[in-house]
């Protein structure tokens, strides 16, 4: 018996969101294990450049991260 969760961000997200995909995966897994459940928890591909151009807490964090990578000395920002 297995519970399967497919996660992550990437280009397969769109294909995995089809209504019948969970059932198709359950059938495929059935040849190897008894699937108790198949859950798809994916998200679209992450685009940090696009997020950095927004005015959000995420963009602030990305900017701080980029600054730290360029000059990792404490207090140099």
SS3 3: strand
Q: In whole angstroms, what is the distance from residue 13 CA to residue 41 CA?
A: 9
pLDDT of residue 58: 85
Task: Please tell me the distance from the alpha carbon of residue 44 to that of residue 63, in angstroms, as a whole number.
Answer: 22
Can you give the pLDDT at residue 63? 86
pLDDT at 7: 94
What pLDDT band is residue 74 in, cutting at 50, 70 and 90?
A: low
Find residue 6's DSSP bridge partners.
40
pTM to 2 decimals?
0.54
DSSP state of 8: E
pLDDT for res 75: 61
Query: Mind listing the pLDDT tens digit for each residue in 18-56?
Result: 889 999 999 999 889 998 999 999 998 877 788 778 888
């Amino acid at each position: 018996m297995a519970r399967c969760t497919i996660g992550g961000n990437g280009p397969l997200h769109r294909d995995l969101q089809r209504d019948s995909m969970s059932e198709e995966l359950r059938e495929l897994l059935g040849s190897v294990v008894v699937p108790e459940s198949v859950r798809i928890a994916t998200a679209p591909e992450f685009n940090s450049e696009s997020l950095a151009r927004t005015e959000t807490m995420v963009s602030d964090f990305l900017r701080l991260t980029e600054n730290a990578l360029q000059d990792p000395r404490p207090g140099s920002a």
